Chains A and B, each alone.
Chain A
């Protein structure tokens, strides 16, 4: 069986559904597929969105999708805690199972055709990365789809990229997360996301991200693991402040997965293929906030794809349009990442400096000066700062 469409979107997460919605709204015949049987399941995410990105969205998120308000963040390193509010730190917890289904329903309502349990298994591609046919395995057999444009919104382990011939260096480009949803917790500040920096999360952070007064996503996210994530997680659980809050807690769901740390490939456009979301490393660091950037970039990808099939736009305009919207934030994001990578190499002192960077409690130049100090001097300096920032 062969199906013909204008735009084929692979993946029905935030990027894919947003792309499918946009393409369908601009009257492109759009098919979006997901290998999962149920949209949004399993959840592989800590489910927090930054409030600062809401004005950039192409549509409003209804209040019932914002399940818990986050006023700010606490940052912990070497026993020191600093609390911040607003700016990058305020946001909401969402429930990805519902959120992803809601987004997919927007796309369907706009006219896109959704096929679940549909796994991309092969691509017929010319030597300029132009996809001529996509082969998709469904419960009713393999079907071929002839698209004019393909949007790869299939995450960090993108089948589209693999089938285009790219070999992704997972060790260098992807972070690993071991995470769980826990309930029955004694959260001390349930309206704050809690980040923990130290050698239990090399190059990343451990977290307690509340979803309600007594429930949270808890986990470790690391870029440079030298042992198993389970071991790091056990070390994290030994921190008295963590132990206290998680004592008596019950794990109700595992939400582990991989996150993009660096670009998987050099470009966002190959032939008639546009990359969006995690496959394109479209997230804002240092917190690797990927949900809303994926919605924003997916929307742009869908609009560009529709314009291309209608003959009123060029596919190469996609990166420029993303950069017009998110370019400054993405540039800053990459720069934060470089600083954080440098700090990681400095062990315990690096964790303290990373706290200064993420919580923005010292001018940036001060971080360079502190980098030349001994651990004890740095710790004393930040302890003094925590008196100012700790109780807010």
Chain B
């Protein structure tokens, strides 16, 4: 299904989406464990 033609997304829009998603992926690993289902312990630690 990924062979569809772009209709309402310009290459620029998709480039910025792609970049933003990659950054979000990176931050996901800061918050969640490898499987993405549990919080990392130190996220909710106290000072």
Contacts and interface: CB of A to CB of B under 8 A. Distances in A.
A329 B44 CA distance: 10
B44 A339 contact: no
B17 A56 contact: no
A342 B27 contact: no
Contacts of A328: 27, 30-31, 40, 43
29 contacts: A55-B44, A56-B46, A300-B47, A328-B27, A328-B31, A328-B40, A328-B43, A332-B31, A334-B27, A335-B23, A338-B24, A339-B20, A339-B24, A345-B13, A346-B9, A364-B28, A365-B25, A368-B14, A368-B17, A368-B21, A371-B14, A371-B18, A372-B2, A372-B4, A372-B6, A374-B7, A375-B8, A377-B1, A381-B1
Given A338-B24, A364-B24, A374 B4 contact: yes
A1 interface: no
A365 B21 contact: yes
Contacts of A341: 20
B44 A56 contact: yes
Contacts of B6: 372, 374
A6 to B, nearest CB: 21
Contact of B24 (A300, A332, A371): A332
Contacts of B18: 368, 371
A331 B2 CA distance: 30
Interface residues of A, number: 35
A7 to B, nearest CB: 19
B47 A321 contact: yes
A89 to B, nearest CB: 13
A369 B46 CA distance: 39
A349 interface: yes
A124 interface: no
Interface of B: 1-2, 4-9, 13-14, 16-18, 20-21, 23-28, 30-31, 39-40, 43-44, 46-47
Contacts of A324: 47
A155 B17 CA distance: 31
A329 B31 contact: yes
B9 A371 contact: yes
5 closest Cβ contacts across the A-B interface? A338-B20, A335-B24, A332-B27, A342-B17, A328-B30
B9 A372 contact: yes
Contacts of B9: 346, 349, 371-372
A375 B7 contact: yes
A248 interface: no
A313 interface: no
A364 B25 contact: yes
A343 B24 CA distance: 14
B41 to A, nearest CB: 11
Interface in A48-80: 52, 55-56
